[in-house]
Amino acid sequence: MFELLGIPPQALFGQLLLGLINGSFYALLSLGLAVIFGLLNIINFAHGAQYMMGAFVAWMLLTYLGVNYWWSLLLVPLMVGATGIVLERLMISRLYHLDHLYGLLLTFGLALIIQGLFRNYYGVSGLPYSIPAELSGGTNLGFMFLPTYRGWVVVASLVVCFGTWFAIERTRLGAYLRAATENPSLVGAFGINVPRMITLTYGFGVALAALAGVLAAPIYSVNPNMGADLIIVVFAVVVIGGMGSILGAILTGFGLGIVEGLVKVFYPEASAVAVFVIMALVLLVKPAGLFGRTA
């Protein structure tokens, strides 16, 4: 068996795959944050909790109602997205005229409530969610073994990310969205219902987080804290990528996942802080972030 820089190839490619999987979730979540931030100017601190909700709702649907994975993939984003719409209408919409800081604090409070409730009912020990039969098993690629489900997650998140990018950057609806971020009153004057668009955008961002949660459920154990620590890494991803750009969120998400995987191979102790070290370096050189538009 050949070796690469003294590392067995199985370990290297295994960690690379793991990095790519983590990167898929970073990308999906930072994309949702970017979409919400773009139109609402609110850092959605509840994003991690909504991702966790996605995984939990999928687990509940399967356990209590016998709804399978494929239906969950469709239903869960709709259901969790709907809770997002309610939150936006009832609470977040009251803060637009205030400093951005209040949006951050409100969603932080919401995250505490959601996580606390799930912790009360399900504890912290984590619940298993089995991989759907169609996606179990794997393929031997010669240099490594690729579990089918993991491959599926990477492909699915790539498709969703670039679908979202296409919708926002290349369609008429996306053009309205982008125009409304620049000048909401002018877009409203053209007869477009901007408040409704804002509400739906928040719902869509939340649905993206929930979708990520469903994808994550068979990989990680479903537990109330699964989003809490992830969200801070995603914040770092957002700072590195620069909030102005949808593409930045996607590319940085995948890129950092891979970098993290590589660090884990060569210097495992540093893998948890690698993202933050990169953030510090990027802030030194380019405070607006790699893809950011304004300083």
Partner 1 sequence: MTVDTQPAIVGTTAVGTPRHHVLIFAVLLGLMLIAPFVLYPVFLMKVLCFALFASALNLLLGFGGLLSFGHAAYFGAAAYVSAHAAKVWGLTPELSILLGTSAAAVLGLAIGALAIRRQGIYFAMVTLAFAQMVYFFSVQAPFTGGEDGIQAVPRGNLFGLIDLANDRTFYFVVLGIAAAGMLAIYRIIHSPFGQVLKAIRENEPRSTSLGYKVNRYKLAVFVMSAAIAGLAGATKALVFQLASLTDVHWSMSGEVVLMTLLGGMGTIFGPLVGAAVIVTMQNYFAGFGAWVTVLQGVIFVISVLLFREGIVGVISRWIKKPL
Note the residues at the interface with partner 1 (CB under 8 A): 43, 91, 94-95, 98-106, 108-117, 119-120, 229, 232-233, 235-236, 238-239, 243, 269, 272-273, 276-277, 279-280, 283-284, 287
CB of 283 to partner 1, least distance (A): 5
CB 283 within 8 A of CB 239: yes
CB of 245 to partner 1, least distance (A): 14
Tell me 7's DSSP state: B
CB of 260 to partner 1, least distance (A): 12
**Helix or strand run (H / E) with residue 77:** helix 69-90
CA 223, CA 33: separation in Å to the nearest integer? 22
Task: Please identify, using beta-carbon distances, which residue of 92 and 214 lies nearer to partner 1.
Answer: 92
Amino acid identity at 291: F
Task: Please identify, using beta-carbon distances, which residue of 75 and 105 lies nearer to partner 1.
Answer: 105
b vs e for 99-137, b when ≥16 Cβ sit within 10 Å of the residue's Cβ? eeeebeebbeebbeebbeebeeebeeeeeebebbeebee
CB of 243 to partner 1, least distance (A): 7
Q: What angle do CA 107, 51, 23 make, to 5 degrees?
A: 115
> For the chain, give me the number of helices (H) and strands (E)?
11, 2
Task: Please identify, using beta-carbon distances, which residue of 11 and 104 lies nearer to partner 1.
Answer: 104
CB of 103 to partner 1, least distance (A): 8
Task: Please identify, using beta-carbon distances, which residue of 109 and 163 lies nearer to partner 1.
Answer: 109
Task: Please identify, using beta-carbon distances, which residue of 156 and 290 lies nearer to partner 1.
Answer: 290
